[in-house]
Amino acid sequence: MDIVFVRDLRIDTVIGIYDWEREVKQTVILDLEMGADISKAAATDQIEDTLDYKSVAKRLVEFVEGAEFQLVETLAERCAHIIREEFGVAWVRLTLNKIGAVSKARDVGVIIERGEKV
């Protein structure tokens, strides 16, 4: 299996459990690794034959900007679901980083893997 990745995708959204977090947008950072067979695309040199990372990123930006979840776990799960269902990705590893969420820590968040890594 090949891996198509997107790193440091920064998106502003409403996320958090505290009242003040429900009133402002905060930046979350997504790192994605998506299992895909890119051999056909390598042979044809055609975007239609690969996992289009720009389309994935655009869809996630659209979704996350409009979302208002309390937990990063929920947001990560929903993003992974979009990637798998809408883009036919069998396996995804998604890191969701909520910078500044813990005092004295550079960043915090979750890493989830969904699907079978073939």
Examine the residue annotation and report whether 98 is marked as an active-site residue of this protein.
yes
Taking all residues of the chain, what is their mean pLDDT, rounded to a whole number? Answer: 95
| For residue 26, pLDDT beyond 80 | yes
Q: What's the confidence (pLDDT) of residue 22? A: 93
Share of the chain above pLDDT 70, in %: 99
**Nearest CA-CA partner of 30 in 90, 75, 84:** 75
101: pLDDT confidence band, cut at 50, 70 and 90? confident
What's the average model confidence in pLDDT over 88-97?
A: 97
| For residue 118, pLDDT beyond 80 | no
Q: In whole angstroms, what is the distance from residue 85 CA to residue 46 CA?
A: 22
- The predicted-structure confidence for 43-70, as pLDDT tens digits, reads as follows 999 999 999 999 999 999 999 999 999 9
User: Which residues sit opposite 109 in a β-bridge?
Assistant: 97
What's the average model confidence in pLDDT over 13-18?
A: 95
Rounded to whole angstroms, what are the CA distances from 68 to 10, 21, 22, 100, 115?
16, 10, 8, 18, 25
Fold of 2-115: GTP Cyclohydrolase I, domain 2 (3.30.1130)
- Reduced to 3 states (helix: H, G, I; strand: E, B; else coil), residue 60 is helix
Report the chain's C-alpha Rg in angstroms: 15
**Nearest CA-CA partner of 110 in 61, 67, 64, 73:** 73
Domain ranges (residues) in the chain: 2-115
Given CA atoms 101, 91, 86, 81 in this order, what sign does their dihedral have? negative
Q: Catalytic: which of 40, 98, 104, 117?
A: 98
| For residue 1, pLDDT beyond 90 | no
